[in-house]
Amino acid sequence: MAVPTTSQPPYDDGPYLGSISDFVATSTDWLAAPAIGDCMARSSSQLPVAVKNLIVDLGMLGAVQQMDSLGALQPSLGQVWSGCMAEGEQVVTTTLAPEATVPCQGSLTRLPFDLNVIQGVVPLGHLNPPEHTQPTDHHYFLLPGWANENVASTPFVAPADGYLTGLASYSSNSSGSMFTDWQMSVNVCVNGYIKFGHVSTLSEEVQALVDREPGTCSSYGYAGNMTEQCYWYGLSQVVSAGDLLGTAAGFDTPNSALDFWALDRSGPLHDVIDPSYEHGDARIAQCGLDWFTDDLRTALYGRRLNFRGIVADAEVGCGKVIQDVAGTAKGLWYATVPIDGRWLDELALVDDNALGDHQVVSVASTVSNAGYWVFQKRSSGTVNRDFAQVAVGSGIHCYDTFTADSNGPSQGGADRFVIKVVDDSTLHIEHQSGSCSSGVSFQSPHVYSRYQQ
């Protein structure tokens, strides 16, 4: 006798889309709201039913403020919302703020700090799991004392004429320690803008721009590491090269460097295998060093240094962000099981951002505790093989003999990673004790996908 089956009717997106329309209609003083609403509507298929129901029940901003109640589903809303916020920022800076008229190459005529203060400039692709399990889309200016995270408050200035168009505050609670820092966006060239992050304090002129209610606030993170972000959009404050913008670092903050983005809204998006990828500004990120005048660019290239204190070689150049190579192990991967907390589903098998012949296994969680393991890549065999050469059907590969500057937790003595590319979208990976010299096989591998769940 056949067992009767039941099926659920398809989810009706009408109420969800109605909530998005209500959000736009009631946010008339927030210039980015229409673009954010359009993005949220287009992203409906990326949101689980429980998330959309929360938006229907509480409204868009209410759901964002109650994101923590979603548990393992929190990252699905957090990442879509962050991506849509970034899209709204781009629309505002493109259409609603004055546009600079000079080309981006050579538009930056001043360094943010005196050259003798800059101890190093970190190439694109820095890794620091779990927050930066995937390669970063920005540079860092390293300041005196950065290696010991003991940096005095240091003023920085605008590197070009332009228009300050957006500000955001980030209030973080990391293991019980509270601090607030800032991010700012400045239009400096045709279709391009720069951002500074981990700004400790704002100059008096910039502070005056945020002495009013922000456009919106929301929270993200995971237990023990939560952040509230608030945005002020639609600004058009004129700045001139050399104007004081604020300070970086300081003894009362954990930040020992100034983050620096260069973003091009007009160029093609960098290729990524997962088309729903919504990781900040990574797909429009450019080499910020190349936007400085020739003399300053040369000086900065001469100071390329990663956070481990290693001087970047010529092969690394300016570094790189998205590194997906279809049909191989190289690039970005995501856990296939629900994980509670932003970033914690991420895995990256990518190039080192200082040594061109080295690569990195970068883990947020699940496979092991957060960390990265650096090794010298090989062009043959099945041990430490270049990730871009580990293809579907090439069998099991093993990685060991990690460099002393790796920070990943050890399995005790020697440790290794065993990986296999199962198909174009599936990877098996396991962290084990021992070396790759004998007995390489899976015991209980974790499954990762090219596509975020």
- DSSP of 138-181, one letter per residue? SEEEE-TTGGGT----EEEE-SSSEEEEEEEEEEEEETTEEEEE
List the structure tokens of 434.
Answer: 């021992």
* pLDDT over 90 at 117, yes or no: yes
* pLDDT over 90 at 440, yes or no: yes
Is-contact 404 386, C-beta < 8 A? no
* pLDDT over 50 at 1, yes or no: no
Q: At what angle do helices 49-58 and 74-91 cross, to 10 degrees?
A: 60
Closest CA to 81 of 273, 219, 286, 241: 219
Residue 256 φ then ψ, to 5°? -120, 15
* pLDDT over 70 at 406, yes or no: yes
* pLDDT of the residue at 89: 67
* pLDDT over 90 at 5, yes or no: no
* pLDDT over 90 at 311, yes or no: yes
Q: At what angle do helices 74-91 and 33-42 cross, to 10 degrees?
A: 140
Q: For 357-376, how does the pLDDT look when each residue is reduced to its tens digit (9 = 90+)?
A: 999 999 999 999 999 999 99
* pLDDT of the residue at 133: 97
pTM more than 0.85 = no
More confident of the two residues 205 and 212: 205
* pLDDT over 60 at 107, yes or no: yes
How many Cα atoms within 13 Å fall on the side-chain side of residue 356?
8
Q: For 226-285, how does the pLDDT look when each residue is reduced to its tens digit (9 = 90+)?
A: 778 888 877 889 999 999 999 999 998 888 999 999 999 887 889 999 988 777 689 999
* pLDDT of the residue at 221: 65
Ranked by mean pLDDT, the top range of 47-61, 71-85, 188-202, 403-417 is 188-202
* pLDDT of the residue at 122: 98
Report how far residue 343's alpha carbon sits from residue 222's, in angstroms, rounded to the nearest whole number: 9
Share of residues in the chain with pLDDT > 70 (%): 91
Tokens 């981006």 sit at which residue?
104
* pLDDT over 60 at 307, yes or no: yes
Longest dimension (CA), the chain: 83
* pLDDT over 90 at 120, yes or no: yes
Rounding to the nearest 10 degrees, give the CA dihedral for residues 309, 312, 317, 322.
-50
Considering just the CA atoms, what is the radius of gyration of the chain in Å?
23
Is-contact 188 261, C-beta < 8 A? no
Report how far residue 207's alpha carbon sits from residue 166's, in angstroms, rounded to the nearest whole number: 12
* pLDDT of the residue at 8: 47
Q: For 93-104, how does the pLDDT look when each residue is reduced to its tens digit (9 = 90+)?
A: 555 556 678 999
Q: For 23-67, how does the pLDDT look when each residue is reduced to its tens digit (9 = 90+)?
A: 888 876 566 788 888 888 888 888 888 899 999 999 988 888 777
Report how far residue 434's alpha carbon sits from residue 415's, in angstroms, rounded to the nearest whole number: 5
* pLDDT of the residue at 3: 39
* pLDDT over 60 at 305, yes or no: yes
Closest CA to 343 of 352, 351, 334, 331: 334
**Paired residues of 423 in beta bridges:** 426
More confident of the two residues 379 and 101: 379
Is-contact 334 345, C-beta < 8 A? yes
Minimum mean pLDDT range among 4-13, 121-130, 376-385: 4-13
Q: For 142-179, how does the pLDDT look when each residue is reduced to its tens digit (9 = 90+)?
A: 999 999 989 999 999 999 999 999 899 988 876 567 78
| Mean pLDDT, residues 337-364 | 94
Burial class (CB in 10 A: 0-12, 13-18, 19+), 145: middle
Share of residues in the chain with pLDDT > 90 (%): 62
List CB contacts of 193: < 8 A, sequence separation 6 or more: 93, 162, 165, 185, 186, 187, 263, 265
DSSP 208: G
* CA 320 to mean position of chain CA atoms: 13
| Mean pLDDT, residues 285-312 | 97
- What helix, strand, coil percent values describe the chain, rounded to 5? 25, 30, 45
Is-contact 179 172, C-beta < 8 A? yes
